Every structure is written in C-alpha cells, then in structure tokens.
Structure 1
C-alpha cells in the first residue's frame, strides 16, 4: 500500500533531546515554587518522563494546583528550552534530515509534529535550518489537542490532501506518539529508540514496528 504521508515527532525522534526537556522542566517548575530539593520534585519529574511527547501545558496542569501556576510554568519551560536551542544545544538525529529529504523526493509528504508550543517548534526548526524541510509543521493549539489524541496527525491528513489514513505512517520516540498514530488510524506506527521510550514501552503501547532510529523508517515503508 502506497504511503502518502509520514508524520514525524521532533525531540527524541528527528532532533536529539539529550536531557533538554528535563533541564527546561527543572527551570519551569522552579518558577512555580518547586525546587530540585523539594520533596515533590522527584514525583513531578517522574510524571514528566512518563508523559514525554504530550502537550507541555497539559503536563503542568496535571502537576500544579492552579491554572495560573500551570501557565507560569509553561511559559518558563518554553523560555528555558528556547534559551538552550539558542545556545546551540539543538542537534538533528543522525540521518533524520536525509530521510525527510528522501521521502519528499520520492513523492511522500512529511509533517513534523511536537508537544511543544508553536513558538518553540519554530525556534527548533530555525536553529536547524529546517523551516522548509518538511511540507508542514504542527503543534498543539488553535483547537488542536496534543498527543495522545489524533488531532495533529489528522490535521496533517486534511491539510496535505491525503486520500486515506491507511496511507499514513507515524514515527515517534514515546508511547504517546504511538497512541496518537494508532488513534488516527495510521497503517505504520513506528516507535524509535533514540529518545525517551524503551523497546518494551513502545511495544506495549502498540507500535507496529520498533526501530533503532528514524533512519530505518524507509525500509519499513518499502
């Protein structure tokens, strides 16, 4: 069956995470009054690791008692992550750019998605010189729910004129990425081992394939 669209996650899948999310979270939760020595911090960090890939404002709403604190932490997270990107700590997963270019050259459309806010997604793409690399870049917002909901994948399907969700492949490094692909009806839902998820976690989430890297995705599609 022909693949018309590939939907790829950013951090951990096509972009090296290297602890940047945890560092930005530490700064963010500190702005809400929870330091690294606070007894609440380990459980909060565990929740962040367990929900990697999901919309960050949703994560902070689950952790903090008020909307004001959640919004404050989310704003600080985006600022801290943007600072890390600006400092040059954002690098592509080896081979990711070549995979995206190869897919598009072969007539497959590519969408890049994230759980970050749109401004952070754009900062990452700018830092990597990827603004025009894919056909579409999507983040939660404007009525789109983040992972594990299917909204980002289905928005890409609609905007890029895909004829059938069974012609879609999704790849990401977290169980949330896998659940998003499955709920959207994608034929291929691949977990990759370059980010947060383990082989066991991705398999348990229902991944159709578990790959060492996004570099292996074209072989699955073929």
Structure 2
C-alpha cells in the first residue's frame, strides 16, 4: 500500500465541524416549511437523517424535483441567513486555531458546505473568516452536486493542486454524508468529528477511518498518521 505521508490537502465541513450553529439547520428548515404552508413535522426526520447533504437535494426529495423545491430551498437559505445575522453561530472551540496549525504544517485547507454560496459567505462574514483559507466551496462550485457525492472534495483536489494523489487528501466532517463523500473521492484519511449531527457508530458505518472529539484534534491526528506510515 502506498504511504500516506504529506497529507497536504485538508477538506473541512463547516456547520457542525468547524462552525457551531446551535441547531440552526433544523430551525431554518422549520421556518422555511411554515412559510410555505408545509408541516415541518413531516420533514424533520428526513432532514436529520440527511444532515450534510446539499439542501436543494433534501427539498427535492421531500417536495419533488420542481418549483416547490426551489421555493423551499430559497426560503430555507433566507431563514438560515436571518438566524446567522442574529448572531447564533460561533466557531467550534479550537477550530480557527486548528486551521492555522494545519496551514502551519504546510497543508492547504478548504472549507466546504451544503449551503448555497450566499449563505456560506454570510457564515464566513459573521465569523470574520473571509480570509481564513485560500478556497471555500459549495455545491454550485462543483457542478451542483453536494454530499454524499465526491464532487466538492475532487473539486478541491483539482483546484488547489496541493497533492498529486487523491489518497493524500484528508476529509473531516460531522455527518455520514461527509464520510461518504470522502470515501467516494478516494481520500486517504476520512475523519469523523463528534461536535455535530452524527455519533461515532454512524460515522464509522459510513466509512470514517478515524473518529475524533473535534476538529481541534485533527492536526495532531494527521501528524501521528504520517509518523506511523
């Protein structure tokens, strides 16, 4: 097996992994459903099960592949943006420091999300993270397909040129779909974190190679993996 030294591309999820939003995704889904006259109680189980998936895909599943899904997604993005503007988000403790440490180790860090670009930018602005990393990606930046597809991870691989082998890529996230996207992209390390939606059993079942308490532990994990190889 080829060694995984020089794990120099790190693709990090945002909400639940590097960003603590206090359950704003569920709150925004409920608000969006209510504004469209839908019953959120009929949707919430699917929403929870598909945390990490692009939100338009979730609404297409729930409401059909048409205008209604587009309206619901727009309502969700608006509701989430309002909650973000209300100051309901913060960095996961140690996240910014971990990103700085990863970059100090010579790694390129990319932040990804299942939200639309406008919402991703609102989150970055609220945290003062506009210049934290060299690249941020949303599903629209990867042809419209979000997780569990591998497209955003592969987009980061192609756009940054940080590594010459996708197996030297690291993917970290808090949901099963984060893990699946990493596995499908061929990432060498797929790390689940326990600060968000899913627990260790679900993360491992979806293909996590490692499970850690939070993203703050990731720089140390990667250093250990490289030493072991």
Please give the range of the TM-score, normalised by the shorter of the 2 chains.
over 0.9
The corresponding residue for 2:181 is: 180
Matched, 1:46 2:50: no
* Residue aligned with 1:189, SS: strand
The alignment covers a number of residue pairs equal to: 217
Unaligned runs of 5+ in 2: 224-229
* Residue aligned with 1:141, SS: helix
* Residue aligned with 1:110, SS: strand
- Residue 102 of structure 1 deviates from its aligned partner by 1.0
Matched, 1:4 2:8: yes
The corresponding residue for 1:211 is: 212
- Residue 67 of structure 1 deviates from its aligned partner by 1.2
For the residues of structure 2 that align with 1:57 and 1:32, how far apart are their CA atoms? Answer: 15
Pairs within 5 Å for 1:66-215: 67-142=66-141, 143-161=143-161, 162-215=163-216
Q: Cα RMSD over matched residues?
A: 1.1
Unaligned runs of 5+ in 1: 36-40
* Residue aligned with 2:110, SS: strand
Deviations 1:81-130 (A, max 9, x none): 11111111110000000011111122100000000001100000011010
* Residue aligned with 1:170, SS: strand
* Residue aligned with 2:57, SS: helix
Do 1:31 and 1:72's aligned partners in 2 also have CA atoms closer than 8 Å?
A: no
**TM-score, structure 2 length as denominator?**
0.92
- Residue 66 of structure 1 deviates from its aligned partner by 5.4
For the residues of structure 2 that align with 1:141 and 1:122, how far apart are their CA atoms? Answer: 13
For the residues of structure 1 that align with 2:87 and 2:124, how far apart are their CA atoms? Answer: 12
Do 1:144 and 1:152's aligned partners in 2 also have CA atoms closer than 8 Å?
A: no
Deviations 1:133-164 (A, max 9, x none): 01210000151410001100000011101211
Deviations 1:1-36 (A, max 9, x none): 11111000000000003110000000111233213x
List 4+ stretches of structure 1 deviating above 3 A.
Answer: none
- Residue 205 of structure 1 deviates from its aligned partner by 0.8
The corresponding residue for 1:22 is: 26
Deviations 1:26-51 (A, max 9, x none): 0111233213xxxxx33410000000
For the residues of structure 2 that align with 1:121 and 1:66, how far apart are their CA atoms? Answer: 23
